[in-house]
Structure 1
Amino acid sequence: MSNNEFTFECPDLTEGATFPLRYTGRGEDFSPEFILHNVAVNAQTIAITLDDIKHPIFKTFNHWLIWNLPVQDRIPEHIPAGKILPELGNAKQGVAYGRHHYAGPKPPRGKQHAYRFTIYILDCELELKPSARKKDFLKESEPHLLQKSELTGLFE
């Protein structure tokens, strides 16, 4: 890994570890804090998705979609619900399992699923409506993607 590669950490979750209860649908269901490293100097916005990547029916099931976050080194935990978030530079939350809000892991009891956070660094603000879904976000963001990094955790 080069020293200039974009990475992020979640202070309470390491790669492959179990999600802390507070960030799940069986706990407080708060979005976690993220600390970003080596964000591109020409970055304009940040987006985050959370996906269940071991869903038995859907190969990948999107739990959370937020975009147009201002560029920053630290994204606070417990991002509130809402289509547009004035307190976060008018970031927008789209339609996912959490409709316009974070919805943490909550698989059927006794079934372990893997959940992946992906943080995207973009060179612009996206002109998507809050009714956008992940597929809309991916299509719109692809030509503007500067950097991307992932973190996967488990929950049962």
Structure 2
Amino acid sequence: MGALVAGAALVASTGCGMSSELRAEMPTDINVTSPMMQEAQPLPSAYTCEADGEPVSPPLSWSGLPDDVGSIALVMDDPGAAVVFWMVYDLDPQLVELRQNTVPGNAKLGQNTFGDSAYGAPCPEEGDVHEYRFTVYALDGTLDLPEGAALSLTLDGIAEQAVARGTLVTSSE
């Protein structure tokens, strides 16, 4: 569990385990949107532990990927709490969206901070304000990691291969 927390701290503090310099130099041309979420607005309860029934992962779409992308990765995190809630990698570079509660084709789920290979719905304490980032990374290859790979391995792989990124940011309130 210590490695998972360390990996989450890396992603929260510098953005997917990348040095601040590398992250600053990386193009941010990818536009990330959702029909169910708006930038800087609260994350709908359907995607939190307050969901009516089991929480589900939100639908996301993206555009503006660079040419010659080998795969796409998605990371949902809370930078203030150093928590990664969702990790999807080896998404087909021709894909332009993830539908609600789905992981298509040959894409894989990596472990989140809690050690689960699944969407981990945020559950903030009442009154606590959190920021939730949905970051799409364009990678120059595939991670070639097994389903359920450890968080630190997945973050390191993304950091090594990322050529562009884009982020949709929501909040807990």
TM-score by length of 1: 0.81
Question: Any gaps of 5 or more consecutive residues in structure 1?
Answer: 81-87
In 2, Cα distance between equivalents of 1:64 and 1:47: 11
Partner SS, residue 150 of structure 1 = strand
In 2, Cα distance between equivalents of 1:51 and 1:8: 15
**Cα RMSD, aligned residues only:** 2.0
Partner SS, residue 67 of structure 2 = coil
Superposed, 1:7-156 pairs within 5 Å as 7-27=31-51, 28-55=54-81, 60-71=82-93, 72-79=95-102, 88-96=104-112, 97=114, 99-156=116-173
In 1, Cα distance between equivalents of 2:145 and 2:154: 7
Partner SS, residue 155 of structure 2 = helix
Residue 141 of structure 1 deviates from its aligned partner by: 2.4
- Residue type of the partner of 2:76? L
Residue 98 of structure 1 deviates from its aligned partner by: 6.6
Contact 1:10 1:34 in 2 (8 A): yes
- Residue type of the partner of 2:154? F
Percent identity between the aligned chains? 27
Partner SS, residue 104 of structure 1 = coil
Task: Could you list the structure 1 runs, at least 4 aligned residues long, displaced by more than 3 angstroms after superposition.
Answer: none
Summarize deviations over 1:124-153 as a string: whole Å, max 9, x none.
111223343333222222332121111211
Higher helix share: 2
Summarize deviations over 1:12-64 as a string: whole Å, max 9, x none.
21221101111112114211111211112211211111112222xxxx11111
Contact 2:73 2:158 in 1 (8 A): no
Question: Any gaps of 5 or more consecutive residues in structure 2?
Answer: 1-27
Residue 101 of structure 1 deviates from its aligned partner by: 0.8
TM-score by length of 2: 0.73
Summarize deviations over 1:75-132 as a string: whole Å, max 9, x none.
211126xxxxxxx222111111371111122112332211111111112111223343
